[in-house]
Amino acid sequence: MDDSGTSSRSNKDGQKTFFKCNPKAAIKHPFTILVIGKYNWTSLLTEALIDYHENNNFTKIQVHKAISVKSAVSTLPNIYADLVIILLDIMKHDCLIDVESNLLALEPAILCGRTVLVNPRRDLKRKDMEITYANIDSLKKKYNLLIIHANIEVNTSIKRI
């Protein structure tokens, strides 16, 4: 990213595509998090982040929730998020293609590399929905995502790949 706040990516043909990332928004207060998914874990994560910030004398944080990427785009079209956390619900048919088709609508956070895609059940056997390690890895590289695979309902250990 250069000083003007523009980030770039190369497309399939090697041509650079430029996107705007508002650097001023990244330092505004309060720190804003957008959590996307339909899990009890979403609420636990939100509470933990708020407690951590308050207990460590950080600035207040603001958390917005949406049940899917599509609903976030439609109900919160002008929201800026410093961090986007997407909980991919494979069991409820949250198709990876649908997630990818809406990712760029979540800019600027998605374009600044501050997006976490979480696979809470660690189940990548839904090839009919294009949910495979290879496809998630491709999405990770394409959008510079942090990917977390974990069986959150069984234990709290999270493995970063």
Per-residue pLDDT of 63-118, as tens digits, reads: 888 887 777 777 776 667 777 887 765 555 555 556 666 666 666 556 565 667 66
Q: Which residue has the higher pLDDT, 156 or 62?
A: 62
pLDDT at 121: 55
Q: What's the 3-state SS for the chain?
A: CCCCCEEEEECCCCCEEEEECCHHHHCCCCEEEEEECCCHHHHHHHHHHHHHHHHCCCCCEEEEEECCHHHHHHHCCCCCCCEEEEECCHHHCCCHHHHHHHHHHHCCCHHHCCEEEEECCCCCCCHHHCCCHHHHHHHHHHHCCEEEECCCCCCCCCEEC
pLDDT at 62 over 50: yes
pLDDT tens column, 129-149: 555 667 777 777 777 777 665
pLDDT tens column, 1-50: 333 333 444 445 443 333 444 444 445 567 788 888 776 767 777 777 77
pLDDT at 154 over 50: no
pLDDT at 18: 34
Domains of the chain: 30-160 (3.40.50.300)
Q: Count of CB atoms within 10 A of residue 38's CB?
A: 15
What is the side-by-side strand order in the sheet with 115-119?
61-66, 31-36, 83-87, 115-119, 146-149, 159-160
Q: Which residue has the higher pLDDT, 22 or 54?
A: 54
pLDDT at 7: 40
What residues have CB less than 8 Å from 11, skipping those under 6 apart? 17
pLDDT at 122: 52
